[in-house]
A and B are shown apart, each in its own frame.
Chain A
Amino acid sequence: MNALIIAGQRLNSRLLVGTGKYRDFTLMREALEASGAEVVTVSIRRVEAKAPGHQGLLEALDWQRYRVLPNTAGARTAAEALRLARLGRALTGSDWVKLEVIPDPTYLLPDPVETWHAAEILVQEGFVVLPYIAPDPVLAQRLARLGCATVMPLAAPIGSGQGLRNRAMLEIFAQQRAHLPPIVVDAGLRWPSEAAGAIELGADAVLVNTAIAEAQDPVAMAAAFRLAVEAGRRAYEAGPMPERPTASPSSPAQGVPLPQPELPL
């Protein structure tokens, strides 16, 4: 399989995973291991009482093994995203940032205008910007021209498990891939088959969090996503058969050792 290259960084896995929503760090570590992912996302939050998941996350991740990708989740405007991105850089020592600007709490849909403004400044500041966007190919082209390292269109709302709801738009992304950085389908997946489907239609990678973390067996589901993403990519590289409007028999049509019906005159 061809490697995925993001901002000059070679990645063998086309599955990126989030670290959110796991019951505990042991389960998270085992799921990350099973996923085979090399890029893992994290968030930036205040150190405060009753905040689950912040004690020891730094120690819980193997920094030699994973590229830690801080997100700007929680930002509602470009200005807020810039603040979180800069804090993320100070915390991780990495220029990579998953840019999320989300004013809408119901569907968690990203604001395209604020995202574009934030991306412009972050690129100028030397960040490697991976923007989370609605599946809008025009916006993707605009972000590509700014120099974003990927585009990350959503398959369905974050954490919804609704699957590849935006397949038609993602197909347009795939058709325009020559003019785009790597396409990472992010958010909304539930089944590994949907991840395979996204890759088969031409996405370069997928980012999965809730589908693994909230599975009944997150470690087994992480392994399933790993296999599905690999299968999807192998299929994409193999190239599918042509589609036909009618059936085409797989066995020879001639020489069947049975009485043949009379041919019509």
Chain B
Amino acid sequence: MVWINGRAVEAEGKSLGEMVEAVCRQQGVNPEAVVVLLNEEIWGKGRWPDRTLVTGDVVEIVTLMQGG
């Protein structure tokens, strides 16, 4: 299992970039507006490492939201 935004997903073997773009497409968010945290390492907008997801990877895909 791979953990994506706190949920266990069967994404082993998939490309990180494709996974991020799929999540963004699904949620209607511009991939240029997100940052990825892969196992505590930050990857800036649109500059994901060319990497295949493996079991135990923890991915957070975050963006700016309304807040005070």
Contacts and interface: CB of A to CB of B under 8 A. Distances in A.
B10 to A, nearest CB: 18
B6 A47 contact: no
B27 A47 contact: yes
Nearest to A158: B68
- Judged by DSSP, the binding face of B is mixed
B27 A42 contact: no
Nearest to B36: A90
Interface residues of B, number: 27
A158 to B, nearest CB: 7
Given A47-B29, A48-B5, A71 B62 contact: no
B66 A46 contact: no
A127 to B, nearest CB: 14
Given A87-B62, A90-B44, A47 B67 contact: no
A43 B65 contact: yes
Contacts of B5: 46-48
A22 interface: yes
Nearest to B35: A90
A241 interface: no
Nearest to B26: A49
B53 interface: no
Given A55-B29, A91-B45, A47 B62 contact: yes
Contact of A22 (B40, B63, B66): B66
Given A47-B23, A47-B27, A42 B42 contact: no
Contacts of B6: 46
Contact of B68 (A19, A55, A87): A19
A42 B64 CA distance: 6
A73 interface: yes
Contacts of B68: 18-21, 41, 43, 71, 73, 158-159, 187, 207, 209-210
A51 B65 contact: yes
Interface string A81-104: 001001100111000000000000
A92 B62 contact: no
B31 to A, nearest CB: 10
Contacts of A45: 62-63, 65
B39 interface: no
Interface in A21-73: 21-22, 28, 41-49, 51-59, 68, 70-71, 73
Interface string B29-68: 1100111010010111100000000000000111111111
A46 B61 CA distance: 6
Given A20-B68, A42-B66, 6 more contacts: A42-B67, A44-B65, A44-B67, A47-B29, A54-B65, A90-B43
Interface of B: 5-6, 23-24, 26-30, 33-35, 37, 40, 42-45, 60-68
Interface of A: 18-22, 28, 41-49, 51-59, 68, 70-71, 73, 83, 86-87, 90-92, 158-159, 187, 207, 209-210
Across the A-B interface, the 9 shortest Cβ-Cβ residue pairs: A43-B67, A18-B68, A209-B68, A53-B66, A58-B33, A20-B68, A54-B65, A90-B35, A45-B65
